[in-house]
Amino acid sequence: MDSGEVKELATDTIINTEPEQNHFKQFDISVDYSDHHYAKSNLSGCECFNNAGSNATKSITREWKILQKNLPESIYVRVYEQRIDLLSAVIVGPAGTPYHDGLFFFDILFPISYPNDPPLVYYHSHGLRLNPNLHANGLVCLSLLNTWVGRKEEKWNPSESTILQVLLSLQALVLNQKPFYNEPGLQSLRESDSRNYNNEVFVLSCKTMTYILRKPPKNFEGFVKEHFRGRASFILGACKAYMKGSALVGGYQEYSGSNSETPSIYKKESKHFKSQMGNFHFALKGAFTKNAPLDLYLAAIELDRNFRIPDWIVYVITIGACYLFFVLYDKYSRK
């Protein structure tokens, strides 16, 4: 695609060379694709996309227009001026799932044969597997991509399937409320197995947050800051609620009131999981503070007002301190 056609398509789209600070566009054309997973792949055949009249090029420009008009609020996309065969996307983890408030990044490559063949999709896993469909090596298993089992109507259809459908499928079918059951043959297992898996998933999601905050993907730096500034208080509150057993993973509500009537099933979560939540509350609080010092500091103070040390612990510490004081006083006063 020549520069004239790119500029024509981008009439209402500003090409960003620096991250935006106050508002991040859902769809935009960027320049720097250097950290894209497929940037140097021999699968790209990028020279074939220089022909503006090719079927693949026309299909990709149609995809851009669909994405510009139809992206939901929780999905953000960047395409590239010089490499129209590449696309990057981030999906915000849906509320009510163990992925809530997390950021999940995907790199997409349009093959030479597009749209006859589906796009290639790579998940930035950071070496973690937090879903049966998202492998630690970045492999994405999805019927629509022809990388997962499925009925014929669920497979890639060159005349109907789109990148938007792929992104929506990842959001709704993969990052769902009970990902444990994404694995075939597990539907008959106990609900407690699914709940334990959700605990593991949220731990890995928290770990992913720390990695992303440390090194956000290019062209998404502004969004990462903006997102976690807005959600830091809620994420920390969720970690504390899961640590205390006052909510199941995915079920935390920020202003849910007293936890005095917490169901006993919530309080039976493993000590190991609760310990992990305590550790990640500490780690994320530090990471969020670096991301937005003043905002988070004030939010953290407000949040921590709702959690105080139990009276019996204060009593024991006070008695112990008094006892130690008198022992030391008696010891040194006799010298």
- Active site residue ranges: 141
What letter does residue 102 receive in the DSSP assignment?
Answer: -
- CB-based contact 104:93 (threshold 8 Å): yes
Nearest to 96 by CA among 264, 245, 248: 248
Q: How far apart are CA 144 and CA 299, in angstroms?
A: 42
Strands (E), the chain: 27-30, 75-80, 86-92, 103-109, 120-123
Q: How far apart are CA 75 and CA 69, in angstroms?
A: 12
- CB-based contact 104:175 (threshold 8 Å): yes
- CB-based contact 284:237 (threshold 8 Å): no
Q: Please give the angle made by the CA atoms of 224, 39 and 112, to the nearest 5 degrees.
A: 120
